[in-house]
Amino acid sequence: MPAKEGCHPVSIARPRPTLAVVGGGVIGLTSALAAVDAGHRVTVHDAGTADRAAWVAAGMLGSLGEGHPGEDDLLALSAASVRRWPDLVARLGDPTVMAATESLFVAASSADAEYLANLAEFVWSRAPRSQDDLRRVDLAEIRRREPGLSSRLHSGYLVVGEGAVDNRRLLTRLRDALVGAGVHFVDERVGDLDDVDADQILVAAGLGTRSLVPDVALHAAKGEILRLRRTRWSVAQPARVIRARMHGRQVYLVPRDDGIVVGATQYEPLDESDAAPEVGGVSDLLADAVDLMPGLRTYRLVEAAAGLRPGTADGLPIIRRVDDRVVVATGHGRNGILLAPYTADKVLELLTDGWVAAGELSSTTEGVEPS
C-alpha cells in the first residue's frame, strides 16, 4: 500500500538474531563463522582444548580414504565438503592453513595394492573424476615424487586436490576471524542449555554433546597420533599427504612446516576418561612410519597424543534441529575437519529456517542433499 501523503514510511529494523555456539572445536568455530558472516550475533562457549579432538587431529581432507565400499553417503558428503575448503581458507586469509594439496596413497605389498585398487574403483564409480585427479602410479613415480619413501613399496595412487590443513593453525585462524568479526568467547563449560541466553543455540560440543542433548547417541573412537620434528640432519618431509597400507595396517604421514604428523590408530576405549596414548598404538605407528620412510629415524618425537573421535552408529554426522531453539551438529567421527565447511553450510540453513519460521522442525543430514 502506498504511504499516505504527508506520512513517511517507517522502516522497523529487525534485530540481528543472537546465536550461542556451545563447543569451540572445528565444527563449532566453522559454523560460528558462517553464522556471523550471515548476520547473526554470535557468542561461543567452550570448555577448552583438553576435550578437543580437532586439536589432536591430523587435518587430512580427502574423500578417497574416507568413503569405503558401503559408505556411499559418507563419500558424497566428503566430496561435497572437499570442494568447499578453498573458500574457507580464502575467508581466513592465510593460505598457510593448507598444509598440502594432494595425497599419495601407497601399498607395501600386492595384497595392499589390491585393497587400494578396490577403494579407487569404488570412488571412481561413485564420484567420477578425471584421470589427472586420481591415477595409479608405479614405484618409479612414487620415488620420483617422494624420494624419502621406502624403495620396497609396491605401487600407489595419486589424488590431486585432496590434501590437508594444519589443524592447529586452522583453529587459531578461525578464532582470530571470529574475534575480528566481533564474536564474544566465554571460555567455560556449559552445564545446562537453559542457562544459555540466545535466540538460538548450536550444540557442537563433540562428545560433550551427549550431556546437553540426551537423545544424541555417540560413541568414542580413541586414536593415537604422533608429531615428529625434522632436524638439520633429516631428509625432507614429504610434499604431500602420504597414506600407506603397510601389510594390512594403515599409517599416514601429513606434512607440517617443521615436520610430520603420523597417524593414527582407532579403537573403542575401555575407559573414556583415560586420554593417555597407549604404548601399543604408539609403537605400531612408529614401526610402520619408519618402514614407510626410513629417514624418519633422525626426526625428533615431540608429541605422542590420543584423542576421542565423536562417532555415530551409521558413520554419518548428526546435523539437525532438536527444537525451536536448539540445533545440533556432531558425530563426525574420523572426518570432522574434512566435513567442517559442509556442516557449517547445513547448520546455517537450519538456523535460517528456524529464525524465519520458528517452530518448523528440520530433520537430520539424511534429508540434506550434498551439493
Ligand X SMILES: Cc1cc2nc3c(=O)[nH]c(=O)nc-3n(C[C@H](O)[C@H](O)[C@H](O)COP(=O)(O)OP(=O)(O)OC[C@H]3O[C@@H](n4cnc5c(N)ncnc54)[C@H](O)[C@@H]3O)c2cc1C
Give contact residues for ligand X (rule: CB under 6 A). 22-28, 45-48, 51-54, 56-60, 189-190, 204-206, 208, 212, 223, 225, 263-264, 307, 309-310, 330, 332-338
Nearer to ligand X, 92 or 113 (CB): 92
If you ran DSSP here, which 8-state letter would residue 247 be given?
T
**What is the maximum alpha-carbon separation in the chain?**
87
Over its C-alpha atoms, the chain yields an Rg (Å, rounded) of 22
CB of 209 to ligand X, least distance (A): 7
CB of 206 to ligand X, least distance (A): 3
Nearer to ligand X, 116 or 225 (CB): 225
Nearer to ligand X, 293 or 338 (CB): 338
d(CA 173, CA 8): 46
CB of 316 to ligand X, least distance (A): 12
Nearer to ligand X, 191 or 367 (CB): 191
d(CA 159, CA 360): 42
CB of 112 to ligand X, least distance (A): 20
Query: Which residue has 629417514 as its cell numbers?
Result: 295
Q: Return the exposure string of 291-310: e unless at least 16 CB atoms fall within 10 Å of the residue's CB, then b.
A: bbbebbeebeeeebbbbbbb
CB of 44 to ligand X, least distance (A): 9
* 174 phi/psi in degrees, rounded to 5: -60, -45
Task: Locate 18 and state its grid cell.
Answer: 543472537
> Any residues with CB less than 8 A from the CB of 69 and at least 6 apart, and which?
118, 119, 122
Nearer to ligand X, 74 or 113 (CB): 74
